[in-house]
Each structure stands twice: as C-alpha cells, then as structure tokens.
Chains A and B, each alone.
Chain A
Amino acid sequence: AQRVTQPEKLLSVFKGAPVELKCNYSYSGSPELFWYVQYSRQRLQLLLRHISRESIKGFTADLNKGETSFHLKKPFAQEEDSAMYYCARIRWYGTSGSRLTFGEGTQLTVNP
C-alpha cells in the first residue's frame, strides 16, 4: 500500500528561523506529491506540488527519489505560516482518475 509518513506531529520555530517539515513516502513507481495546508478556521488548500517546481509563500519542496522524501522548506518562517501541513501522494486509476493518500500532518507554530 502507498504510504505517506510525516514523522513530526508538532513543530515549533521562532519567526525568522528556517523551517523544514519532513515527508517520506513508500516507493512505488513515479510518485506525484503535494503539500496541502490548513490555516486556523479555514479549509484544506493546496500549497504546492512537486511537478510545478514552484515556490509558494516562500516554501519549496524537492522530490528526492533516493531518500523517498518530499520535505517542505522555508528559509525564514513567518508567524502567518502557523498552520497544519499535510503531505499527500496521488494514486492514479488508469485513465479514470485519481485519489490522494495523506500523511498524518504536522502542526507548525511560528513564535514571535
């Protein structure tokens, strides 16, 4: 079964410090991975996806197939980054569609 593991349930850093949220996945073919974020009292929303190779709100994530990891990084954390972060992997149904497998989430708190 495809699994996504986020080893840290809680992560606390100070404003301006670097932050890294870890995500590992079980190897199976060519993975497509995402980071979703849920701010307080808001719905779950897409933060970024590895195929886009983009930076959103200063966050980046690189797929490392050798280590089967997709860690989320930001060089200088801001208080507004405090949220729950979920790593997710997509599973394709042939030509019919897809579904997401989520990790358990990491609650990031950025202290002033």
Chain B
Amino acid sequence: GAGVSQSPRYKVAKRGQDVALRCDPISGHVSLFWYQQALGQGPEFLTYFQNEAQLDKSGLPSDRFFAERPEGSVSTLKIQRTQQEDSAVYLCASSSARRSNQPQHFGDGTRLSIL
C-alpha cells in the first residue's frame, strides 16, 4: 500500500480487557511514531521507534501501555487492563529518515472506545 495502514479502524472493549493495535508503516520507513488523540485535543506523542529500537517511550501514560516493533517494520501498541480514560484515537506515523525534516506520514488511526 502507499500509505500507513492501521488496524482495526474501530475497537470497542470492556474496561479491564487487553487490546492490541497494529500499524503497518510505509515500506522502508525507518522511523515510527505512536500518538494518542483524545476528543477535542491535538495528537500527543506516546513513543518512537527507529527500526526495531524503541528510542523514546516517555509519552506512554502508564506501565499498562506497551509498544513493540520486533522486526523494524510492523508495530503493535498494546494496552493492558484498559480504563475508560484510554478511550481515544491512536495514530501511527512513519518517516523515511533518522534525523531530517522529512515529514511524518499518518495513518487513519484506531478509534478505541472503552465501555
């Protein structure tokens, strides 16, 4: 595909359940980012990968959030024991280079609703 692909587009879970969100970046893109966008807010940074290395996870709101990118391409964001405040759109973005001003390309996001 030509762009960043995220699945599922929508996810509804009950409080306390675990969820896994998937991101397929643009082929060959080295950098991958996860953002959380609450209703009425701008995206907020969660974590950043360069290839398979997670270089920054300072934006993850709690230890219930975990992200991985084991082979340097597809990434998964996992949320354990979900809470209502986890309800948000989760955006994935990828970029072609390590240090540059190349723009980040965003996916459509996964809209997560916790009941």
Contacts and interface: CB of A to CB of B under 8 A. Distances in A.
Contacts, number: 66
B104 interface: yes
Interface in B91-115: 91, 95, 98-99, 101, 103-104, 106-109
A24 to B, nearest CB: 14
A56 interface: no
Nearest to A107: B40
Interface residues on B, range: 20 to 34
A99 interface: yes
Given A34-B103, A43-B106, A43-B109, A95 B98 contact: yes
B99 A96 contact: yes
A88 B112 CA distance: 24
B56 interface: yes
Given A34-B103, A44-B106, A104 B98 contact: no
A88 B35 CA distance: 13
Cβ-closest 6 pairs across A and B: A102-B42, A44-B106, A46-B103, A104-B42, A43-B108, A99-B45
Interface of A: 4, 6, 9, 32, 34, 43-46, 49, 51, 86, 88, 90, 92-105
Interface of B: 3-4, 31, 33, 35, 40-45, 48, 50, 55-56, 91, 95, 98-99, 101, 103-104, 106-109
